[in-house]
Amino acid sequence: MSLCTTCRDLGVDPFVYLRDVLERVSTHPMSWIEELLPDRWTPAESPDPTGRKGGLSINPKLILPDGHDS
C-alpha cells in the first residue's frame, strides 16, 4: 500500500501526517520511532475537535487553472 492509501484508510490526512513527521523525525527518539508510523501517529499539535486524526477535509469547489470555478 502507498503512504497516501494507508493514511486515508486510517482517516489521516496524508499531507498533515507527512508534514508533521518530517518536522519531528530529526528530534524524535530513535527508540520511539514506531510512534511516527501512520497507524500509531498522533499529531504534535492539538487534536482536531472532531476527533479525527489529521482532520481530512474535502473542498467541494474546484478552481480550474484558467481561474474559473468547476
Residue 62 lies in a domain: no
Residue 3 domain boundaries: 1-57
Nearest to 55 by CA among 14, 24, 22, 19: 14
| Cα–Cα distance for residue pair 43/54, rounded to 1 Å | 7
Dihedral angle over CA of 42, 45, 51, 53, nearest 10: -40
Residue 15 lies in a domain: yes
Residue 41 lies in a domain: yes
Its pTM stands at 0.59
pLDDT at 67 over 70: no
DSSP conformation class of 32:
G
- As given in the structure block, the three cell numbers for residue 65 are 487553472
Total domains, the chain: 1
- As given in the structure block, the three cell numbers for residue 29 are 527518539
Residue 16 lies in a domain: yes
pLDDT score of 70:
47
Residue 13 lies in a domain: yes
The model's pLDDT over 25-37, given as tens digits with 9 standing for 90+, comes to: 888 888 888 998 9
Residue 70 lies in a domain: no
